[in-house]
């Protein structure tokens, strides 16, 4: 993948706190966005300039903190169901002194909608959690977006297995199949425009169609 290597060589050197989180994630097998993917997300947010972001899938707080880095004036609500990762995220957010802008809700995103509603409406919905539940997350949380809101879904190419799962394990092939179904549903949804960007692990950008479109 010479092209990907070339693009990664152009990325600026991350700060020490960012490197520390990346190293921790690698050591403890915590899935976080790939360098090109997070760089793309941050640039997209700089363009969009959202005031209020909702993230499904906090993990250790890496993407939330990087999104805040891209949009220093924004507010972020993020949801994490795993208790250990939730605690790690709180620790990282505290270390970055970002508690005033990032709120982490502990629970299953399918069950905490009522808690989230009071924190909306949101300008951006970022989906990066259980891959088989992306469509459910989409249905639950898009009603909380502003009229001009954007939905960003990560891992929609899932290690290349969505396009070709012949080399995948049965478990990976099953996940890839669920994501493939989501992608097809998303791009054919008559109420939204969606583009899938083959960067990082695949990022889908979705925006509501104007009523007259």
- List the Cα angle 54/101/25 in 5-degree steps: 70
> Torsion-angle region of residue 29: left (phi > 0), alpha (psi -120 to 50) or beta?
left
Say whether 201 counts as a known binding-site residue. Answer: no
CA distances from 58 to 30, 66, 103, 109 (A): 11, 12, 10, 11
Say whether 109 counts as a known binding-site residue. Answer: yes
Q: How far is CA 66 from the centre of its chain?
A: 11
Say whether 80 counts as a known binding-site residue. Answer: yes
Say whether 154 counts as a known binding-site residue. Answer: yes
Say whether 183 counts as a known binding-site residue. Answer: no
Q: Which residues contact 195 (CB under 8 A, 6 or more apart)?
A: 204, 205
Going by the annotation, the residues of the binding site are: 33, 63, 80, 108-109, 128, 154-155
Going by the annotation, the residues of the binding site for Mg(2+) are: 128, 154-155
Going by the annotation, the residues of the binding site for S-adenosyl-L-methionine are: 33, 63, 80, 108-109, 128
């Amino acid at each position: 993948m010479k092209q990907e290597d070339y693009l990664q060589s152009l990325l600026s050197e991350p700060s020490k706190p960012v490197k520390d989180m990346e190293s921790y994630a690698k050591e403890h097998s915590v899935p976080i966005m790939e360098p090109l993917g997070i760089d793309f997300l941050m640039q997209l947010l700089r363009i969009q300039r959202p005031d209020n972001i909702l993230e499904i899938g906090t993990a250790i707080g890496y993407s939330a903190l990087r999104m805040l880095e891209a949009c220093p004036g924004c507010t972020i609500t993020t949801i994490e169901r795993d208790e250990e990762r939730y605690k790690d995220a709180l620790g990282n957010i505290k270390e970055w002194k970002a508690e005033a802008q990032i709120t982490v809700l502990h629970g299953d995103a399918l069950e905490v909608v009522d808690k989230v509603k009071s924190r909306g409406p949101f300008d951006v919905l970022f989906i990066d959690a259980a891959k088989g539940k992306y469509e459910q997350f989409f249905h639950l949380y898009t009603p909380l977006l502003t009229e001009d809101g954007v939905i960003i879904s990560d891992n929609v190419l899932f290690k290349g297995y969505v396009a070709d799962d012949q080399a995948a394990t049965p478990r990976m092939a099953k996940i890839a199949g669920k994501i493939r179904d989501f992608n097809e549903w998303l791009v054919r949804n008559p109420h939204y425009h969606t583009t899938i960007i083959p960067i990082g692990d695949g990022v889908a950008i979705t925006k509501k169609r104007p009523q007259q479109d």
